[in-house]
Amino acid sequence: MTQTTETRVSAEPTGPDAADREGDRIQRGADRDREPGPGARADGHDGYGTQEATAILARTRAAVDPELRRSVEALPGTLRRVALYHFGWEHADGTPAAGHAGKAVRPALVLAAARALGGQPDRAVRAATAVELTHNFTLLHDDVMDRDATRRHRPTAWTVFGDADAILAGDALQAQAQRLLAEDRHPAGPAAAARLAACVVELCAGQSTDVALERRDPAEVTLKETLAMAEAKTGALLGCACALGGLYAGAGEAEVAALDAFGRAAGLAFQLIDDVIGIWGDPARTGKPAGADLAVRKKSLPVVAALVAGGPAAAELTELYGPPGTGKESDTELAAMAQAVERAGGRDWAQTQAADQMSRAVHQLSQAVPVPAAADGLLALAEFVTRRGH
């Protein structure tokens, strides 16, 4: 069953006094957002911060979806059909569907960062769309490599159209992302295109490491390399999204770098919580089978933290976590692995580290945004993804 995970940030950021004071101001906002708002559930998920993030995401979907759909519908033949299905706009037979294209967290970060730095979010819509296209390129490819059968509560594209068409559709989305920036007349377009291209290389390197780790002996995997892999796979694109928003606002190099660091730290917090959900999450909420990460022996962050912890539970997990299984392990076998991870401290470590990463994110945000209140949208989005985990 899902255990509600909420990252409380208590550590004060380090740095110059002015930055500390601003970090404290943002921190107080984070604590305020955790207080239940009107009609909030007992788990705190419907407080003011979540409501603000939900509103931001809705505005983002309204702004980005038309450009996103134009980019997808411009694709030829089968590529268009696969992409429309992946985004939830069509059924497998090509008839219209009422599905959604995801939460739009990454494009929301682009627009929120542009707004926070005094830019015009409507001028950054192409950049936001490019980031969302890039994100979905990675999802299509990840599903093939991980052999995930479901996403967003429906069969994944490769299970419907085959590996080749799913991979090629992903390639086409990535090309459309670069095309959007190349054709954008905004002065930041070229710098944004270069930054997004570098991010894609980092994403691919992170995914390559992730795949390689699955084949490695559990005793040979280190926490340091797993954290680096997670930052490349997840933190890089969230950081890039924030940086692109800064570029489109005309921000300086220091502010753009701080925005990138903010997104990376928030992304790593997101990945930590997502890894927790990948082991203990409720399939009814995640849209994925329970224990799927354990079945393929994924070296997720809670697992690696447990493996290197030492003690009887870590030894038991090392024995259980050998080569990838058949994918047909019983619920009892998968539950034994999950219990070993938890007994060895992997779950608690991941939740604590997520809080630490959010503290780092808050500090970086205080370096990037000169107007305190302007940071609220970015902070609300960071809080939202780490509360939800995916």
- 68, 114 in Cβ contact below 8 A? no
The residue-averaged pLDDT of 386-390 equals 62
Measured distance CA(33)–CA(363) in Å, rounded: 17
Given this model, what pLDDT does residue 26 score? 42
Q: What does pLDDT average to over the chain?
A: 86
Measured distance CA(92)–CA(230) in Å, rounded: 32
The pair phi, psi for residue 5, each rounded to 5°, is -115, 125
The pair phi, psi for residue 222, each rounded to 5°, is -105, 155
Record the tokens describing residue 318, joined without a space. Answer: 């090392």
More confident residue, 7 or 99: 99
Tens digits of residue pLDDT in 257-307 = 999 999 999 999 999 999 999 899 887 776 667 677 888 788 999 999 999
Q: What element of type H or E holds 154? A: strand 154-155
Close Cβ partners of 208 (under 8 Å, ≥ 6 residues apart): none
> Is the predicted pLDDT of residue 45 greater than 80, yes or no?
no
Q: What is the pTM of this model?
A: 0.84
Q: For residue 78, count other CB atoms closer than 10 A to its CB.
A: 15
Tens digits of residue pLDDT in 192-213 = 999 999 999 999 999 999 988 8
Supply the DSSP symbol for 231: I
Given this model, what pLDDT does residue 46 score? 43
> Is the predicted pLDDT of residue 387 greater than 90, yes or no?
no
Lowest-pLDDT range of 30-34, 253-257, 322-326, 369-373 = 30-34
The residue-averaged pLDDT of 211-239 equals 92
Secondary-structure class of domain 17-33+47-388 per CATH: mainly alpha
pLDDT band for position 324 (50/70/90)? low
Tens digits of residue pLDDT in 127-143 = 999 999 999 999 999 99
Given this model, what pLDDT does residue 281 score? 85
Lowest-pLDDT range of 163-172, 338-347, 363-372 = 363-372
Given this model, what pLDDT does residue 115 score? 96
Q: For residue 6, count other CB atoms closer than 10 A to its CB.
A: 16
Q: What angle do CA 80, 81, 85 make, to 5 degrees?
A: 115
- 35, 47 in Cβ contact below 8 A? yes
Record the tokens describing residue 190, joined without a space. Answer: 């070229």
Record the tokens describing residue 373, joined without a space. Answer: 């209140």
Given this model, what pLDDT does residue 88 score? 96
Range 205-224 burial, b when 16+ CB lie within 10 A, else e: ebbebbeebeeeebeebebe
More confident residue, 225 or 46: 225
Given this model, what pLDDT does residue 135 score? 98
pLDDT band for position 37 (50/70/90)? very low
pLDDT band for position 326 (50/70/90)? low
The pair phi, psi for residue 150, each rounded to 5°, is -135, 145
Tens digits of residue pLDDT in 95-132 = 999 877 789 999 999 999 999 999 999 999 999 999 99
Given this model, what pLDDT does residue 379 score? 95
Given this model, what pLDDT does residue 28 score? 43
Given this model, what pLDDT does residue 358 score? 95
